[in-house]
Structure 1
Amino acid sequence: MKVLKVVSDRHRKEFLDFPARIFSHDKNYIRPLDKDVEDVFDSKKNRNFRNGESERFLFVNDQNETVGKIAVFINKKYKQKQPTGGIGFFDCVDDQKTADCIFDFAKNWLQERGMEAMDGPINFGERDKFWGLLIEGFFEPLYGMNYHAPYYKQLFENYGFQIYFNQLCFGRKVHAPVAENFLEMHRRVSENKNIYAKRLMVKELEKFAKDFTQIYNKAWSRHGEGKQLSEVQTLKLFKTLKPVINEHISWFIYENEKPIAMWMNIPDLNQWFKYLNGKFGIWQKLKWLWIKNFKKNKKMVGLVFGIVPEWQKKGIDGYMIWEGTKHFRKTTSFEDYEMQWIGDFNPKMLAIAENLETGVTRKLATYRYLFDRTKPFERHEML
């Protein structure tokens, strides 16, 4: 088997096209946008190259047919008990020997750079995209989410990878009954005339970005991996989301003029992008605009849910959920609601998801492989 480093345009095209052939008969596969994948490996667009390096490889059999691919990377900011590198964008035919060769190659590449373990499949970047191996829930992936065939799990585990942490997605039907305790919370909070709800409006984007920042920083400051955001960062994010914001599905709660809670949702972009076959040139953008305006999107995605500490456990969650739900049931065509994944090491976030009356919809896993097989394996520490 030959190993080809991805350097030419032909190799880059093959790296992008190969998964589409693997999943050519799978109706649930949605090809990621080529641009989103390529941006990961563009040192001008991915700031992680400042603290690490990444390379991509294709694996070709004797008949000159691609049988697998992988990306390998190290990031000095990825702090672990032992130096740990990453593998991602792994795809392979259903053959353990081929997979073992690919994993061996990745292991050697990382060992040469001082690594003692590898995590995968992960992204050379943030955890919000291309992170984890799908092991349950083989239906259409959300935008930015990995999709794999069931046999990939065996390829990883037969090689010796172990689950470092599970990634759980939660969801519910938009028109499913809302629990009586949520309705009771809504009735109780509604008696306070200083509390009111507002939906996010594009014309007031700067105001909502500011309010989001205040709530987020207060709500998540006590969490182990909580990050403080600046208003500049939030406004930049909101402007990026502006073309896909639906003004009926993101909600903010105020006490007088003070923001105290928010529930951010957007349409699932994959329900539109699945018609573009990974491309997003001028023609595809025009096609996307037509699809976006004339084809109903029936799935919404939960991005962030937060309540400032002084208003937690006081019924604000039930108030906000019912205010939002009763509105977007009337004004939108959404039928399904699904949240982005939550790590099983984060019980506080899992509790929030359960409080939203959701159930587990799919499961991904982040695997780890220790190069020294005599060392004890430890899962992700609990937050």
Structure 2
Amino acid sequence: MTSSFEIRAVTTSAEMEMFLDVPGLVYGNDANWVSPLRSDIAKQFSPNNPFFGYGKLQQFIALDSANKSQAVGRIVAAVNRRLIEREGKNIGLFGFFECISDFAIAQSLLNSACHWLREQGMTVARGPIDLSTHNNCLFLVDGFDSPPMVMMPYNPSYYPEFMEEDGWQKAKDAYAYNVALDKPLPDKFEKGYRIACESGITFRPIRTKGDGFTQDCISLYHLFNKAFSNNWSATPRTEKEFLEEAKSLQTLVDPDVFPIAEDKGKMIGFFMGLPDYNIPLKHVNGKLNWLGIIKFLWYRRQIDRGRVIAICSLPEYRRKMVPLGLIYLGMEGGRKKGKPYKRGELSWVWEDNMPSRKLIEASGGTICKTYRVYEKGL
């Protein structure tokens, strides 16, 4: 417990460094935590971030009065005008929240974020969402016994307790599903693949090099916008934003677990799997300097699991069994001889997305983690 502290808006480079240091203090003894790359977090606050073309934010840190060189908590309040336009109400966001186990500090950070949002004319606060749901979002509320998969959130178990104690309400839950790879899929998935092929659908792995990769990413971008445009709390990305993120993942893609479905050369679905690079990232301590790169390359050989980020098919192709065909190919790709994967995780899926949940559960997936977004009236 910290007897005396102050909340300060981040305005200097020194305060920014303290902001970035907070997770190391919070998770120092947590064996399951995987530090995100420090440069990736800092990049979110660069003036070059496209977010600043349609939003604004304010960072806050909590300082221990006895040691003002060490921040013991942090939070970001943000206004995303795209989200406001989409939902038709003044929703403000909080994100990047980290705090030591001290409710008074956590409450003061949340209050500071809410006060700033209220000054911007917001009437509802929602989070944790790091500027948009395309970035890190959600608090883990159940399933603290294992490390997070790549690009998935993780937090201490006391965060949800703090939220409830401060009067925040559940807005929506999301689930992560464990998928065993030592058991074959039910026959209907292979049958669905055969039906899709007979109806003229073709399948191939994503291209990972040169112009082929760029062309596939542009097609993925348009398909994402069409298929997921109505997702809750989601906002559209520009093609530039999408391609920038895709290029950062280019060397990490395993084409065997990233099949694409096409109809006469037009992309109409995909199964987006990715090896769990959190396994090597755990050893680089958030920094990909020369030593971090060496460690990453060494420990990537230990990857034995993967994450399914999304399964997508245009609605008009579902009767042609395209989703079943994609799942069949993606899962079989992970089981191929020589592949290291022992299990997979499909994450995350909103609790009310019953079509996707039923499909995942039919393939043998079982809920292994629960996540939550909170809201509070301002």
After superposition, give the CA deviation of every residue in 1:117-161 in whole Å (9 maximum; x if it has no partner): 21121112x313221111111121233332111111111111100
Q: What aligned pairs does 1:261-340 form with structure 2 within 5 A after superposition? A: 261-292=269-300, 295-329=301-335, 330-340=337-347
Flag structure 1 segments of 5+ consecutive residues without an equivalent: 372-383
Which residue does 1:3 correspond to in 2? 7
Percent identity of equivalent pairs: 23
Aligned residues: 366
Separation in structure 1 between the aligned mates of residue 35 and residue 236 of structure 2, nearest angstrom: 33
Separation in structure 2 between the aligned mates of residue 103 and residue 226 of structure 1, nearest angstrom: 22
Which residue does 2:61 correspond to in 1? 58
CA contact (8 A) 1:205 1:238 kept: no
Q: What aligned pairs does 1:149-298 form with structure 2 within 5 A after superposition? A: 149-186=156-193, 192=198, 194-203=200-209, 204-206=212-214, 208-209=216-217, 212=220, 216=224, 219=227, 238-254=246-262, 257=265, 259-292=267-300, 295-298=301-304
Q: Which amino acid aligns with 2:259?
A: W
Residue 325 of structure 1 deviates from its aligned partner by 2.7
Residue 360 of structure 1 deviates from its aligned partner by 1.7
Residue 336 of structure 1 deviates from its aligned partner by 2.1
CA contact (8 A) 1:118 1:370 kept: yes
**Higher mean C-alpha displacement, 164-173 vs 300-309:** 300-309
CA contact (8 A) 2:7 2:109 kept: no
Flag structure 2 segments of 5+ consecutive residues without an equivalent: none
Match of 2:76 among 71, 76, 83: 71
Alignment RMSD, CA only?
3.0
Residue 279 of structure 1 deviates from its aligned partner by 0.9
CA contact (8 A) 1:129 1:145 kept: no
Residue 227 of structure 1 deviates from its aligned partner by 8.0
**Higher mean C-alpha displacement, 31-40 vs 246-255:** 246-255
Residue 311 of structure 1 deviates from its aligned partner by 2.8
SS in 2 for 1:94: coil
After superposition, give the CA deviation of every residue in 1:239-284 in whole Å (9 maximum; x if it has no partner): 3322111122111234565544321211122122111101123442
Which residue does 2:42 correspond to in 1? 38
Residue 20 of structure 1 deviates from its aligned partner by 1.8
Which residue does 1:376 correspond to in 2? none
Residue 207 of structure 1 deviates from its aligned partner by 5.2
Which residue does 1:358 correspond to in 2? 365
Separation in structure 1 between the aligned mates of residue 11 and residue 208 of structure 2, nearest angstrom: 42
- Structure 2 length as normaliser, TM-score? 0.84
Match of 1:137 among 110, 119, 143: 143
Cα distance change on mapping 1:54 and 1:313 into 2, 3 Å:
same
Q: Which amino acid aligns with 1:121?
A: P
- Structure 1 length as normaliser, TM-score? 0.83
Residue 235 of structure 1 deviates from its aligned partner by 5.7
Indicate yes or no: 2:96 matched with 1:92.
Answer: no
CA contact (8 A) 2:179 2:366 kept: yes
Cα distance change on mapping 1:176 and 1:94 into 2, 3 Å:
same
Residue 223 of structure 1 deviates from its aligned partner by 7.0
